[in-house]
Each structure stands twice: as structure tokens, then as C-alpha cells.
């Protein structure tokens, strides 16, 4: 299926609330390396250089905002910034903006809709998009976009303490509410050594609260803790 961006770029610009002077920058931001493997004659580079630029632009604008508006210690500001710019947050924003349908991907990547790799593709495209907006409209345009779609999430991040990693949050809440420290147990290991998947259960005393999966035990524990927070409605 041909990406919508090759048919008409205007709907994506409307979603982003930004009109490009140089639309080729937007097309490049939406072009994944895998697409060029199948379309060697495509008249655009992939988005990795824009991603490199956008990552730096995003970090400096978010950092300046936090430094200017909050007198909190460095460690807290760092945690807040991480919660704002991590891959999950950026992928969620990309998903909400609905720009996945405009991504130029290989057929294989396009079919693989639910993988963790897709989350990183979306997050990287978001950074590339910020890089493209910066090149097209400089700092003012990039800041307006970041204020509207990323920094606007800060209030909910602070209110719900989303800057605390899931394992720490689950443990602190369990100790506060129940006087219990969570424990984790590997339930299953599958896959070859170079591509292991771990299934981990999180327990409160002897009761298993939730299950998580990951490519490492730590990742699976974090996934289980996230699921545990949802299961307990914490």
C-alpha cells in the first residue's frame, strides 16, 4: 500500500499544525531506512540524520524549559526530562497524531505493527520530525511544536509521578498501601540465546498480580510492574 504522504502531504501538516516551506523535509522525516532498501530510486534520504538533529533540539528546548520554570534539584529535573523525551512518550504522541499511516516503511516493517521495534520507529520519526521543523522554521517553530505536543504532558507526568520508573512506583505504592515489598519471578524463558524473551510475574506476598515480557529480565520486570500498577489501579 502506498503511504498517504506520497499522495497528499497536506493532511499530515494539518495534524501537526505546521505548514512546511520545504515539504521534502517532512517526507524525509517520514522515510525509514527500510523503505529505501525496497525503493533504491526514491528521491529522498532516510530520516536518521534528521533524527540525530531532532534529538538534540528536543533535549535543549525541554531542558531550558525545565531550568527556567522550576527550581528543583538537577536529579529531579533529569527524571522529568527523561519522562518527557523517552521513546514510549514520543511514540505515544506520534500515535495520537496519527502519523504512522504516513510513514514510509518496507513491506516487512509495515506488517509488523505491534512490536517494540515499531515503537522505536515511531519515536525516532518524532525526533526526525522535530529536526525537520527546526530546519524549516528554526527554533521558534520547533519550540512551538514541542510546547504543544510534548511539554504539554508535563502536568500529568508530575501529577501521576510518571517520572518514577514503574518498578519503583509499584514498590513505593505497595509498601505505602499494603506494607508489602513486591517480588519478581521468572516464569518462562523462550527463544535462542541471542533473542531471548523472558516472562516474569510480579507478586505481593504469595499472590501473583501481573505478568510482563521482555528481552531481558530487567525489561520483563518493568513490564510486569507496569501491568501491576494497572491491575491494582495505582
48 flagged as catalytic: no
55 flagged as catalytic: yes
Kindly report, residue by residue over 108-151, the tens digit of the pLDDT.
776 666 667 888 999 999 999 999 999 999 999 999 999 999 99
Sign of the torsion angle spanned by Cα atoms 92, 153, 10, 39: negative
For 126, the domain range is: 4-159
Which residue, of 159, 184, 217, is where some domain finishes?
159
Count of structural domains within the chain: 2
Say whether both 27 and 140 belong to one domain. Answer: yes
Angle at 36 between CA 55 and CA 27, to 5 degrees: 55
Cβ partners under 8 Å of residue 197, min gap 6:
189, 190, 191, 213, 214, 215
User: Among residues 51, 55, 100, 109, which one is catalytic?
Assistant: 55
In 3D space, the residue among 137, 103, 143 whose CA is nearest the CA of residue 119 turns out to be 103
Phi, psi angles (nearest 5°) of residue 165 = -65, 150
| Domain of residue 79, CATH code | 1.10.1520.10
| Domain of residue 202, CATH code | 3.30.160.20
Say whether both 222 and 122 belong to one domain. Answer: no
User: Among residues 51, 100, 109, 127, which one is catalytic?
Assistant: 127
In 3D space, the residue among 67, 85, 68 whose CA is nearest the CA of residue 77 turns out to be 67
Kindly report, residue by residue over 53-95, the tens digit of the pLDDT.
999 999 999 999 999 999 999 999 999 999 999 998 999 999 9
Amino acid at each position: 500500500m502506498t503511504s498517504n504522504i506520497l499522495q497528499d502531504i497536506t493532511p499530515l501538516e494539518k495534524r501537526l499544525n505546521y505548514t512546511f516551506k520545504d515539504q521534502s523535509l517532512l517526507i524525509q522525516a517520514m522515510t525509514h531506512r527500510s523503505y529505501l532498501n525496497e525503493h533504491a530510486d526514491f528521491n529522498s534520504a532516510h530520516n536518521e540524520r534528521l533524527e540525530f538533529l531532532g534529538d538534540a533540539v528536543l533535549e535543549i528546548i525541554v531542558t531550558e524549559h525545565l531550568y527556567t520554570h522550576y527550581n528543583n534539584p538537577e536529579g529531579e529535573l533529569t527524571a522529568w526530562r527523561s519522562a518527557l523525551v523517552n521513546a514510549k512518550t514520543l511514540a505515544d504522541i506520534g500515535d495520537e497524531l496519527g502519523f504512522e499511516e504516513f510513514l514510509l516503511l518496507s513491506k516487512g516493517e509495515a506488517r509488523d505493527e505491534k512490536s517494540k521495534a515499531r515503537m522505536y520507529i515511531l519515536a525516532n520519526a518524532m525526533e526526525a520530525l522535530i529536526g525537520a521543523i527546526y530546519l524549516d522554521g528554526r527554533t521558534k517553530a520547533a519550540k512551538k511544536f514541542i510546547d504543544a505536543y510534548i511539554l504539554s504532558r508535563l502536568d500529568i507526568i508530575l501529577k501521576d509521578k510518571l517520572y518514577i520508573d514503574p518498578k519503583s512506583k509499584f514498590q513505593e505504592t505497595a509498601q505505602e498501601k499494603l506494607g508489602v515489598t513486591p517480588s519478581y519471578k521468572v516464569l518462562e524463558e523462550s527463544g535462542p540465546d541471542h533473542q531471548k524473551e523472558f516472562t516474569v510475574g510480579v507478586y505481593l506476598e504469595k499472590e501473583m498480580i501481573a505478568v510482563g515480557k521482555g528481552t531481558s529480565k530487567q525489561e520483563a520486570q518493568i513490564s510486569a510492574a507496569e501491568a501491576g500498577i494497572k491491575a491494582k489501579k495505582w
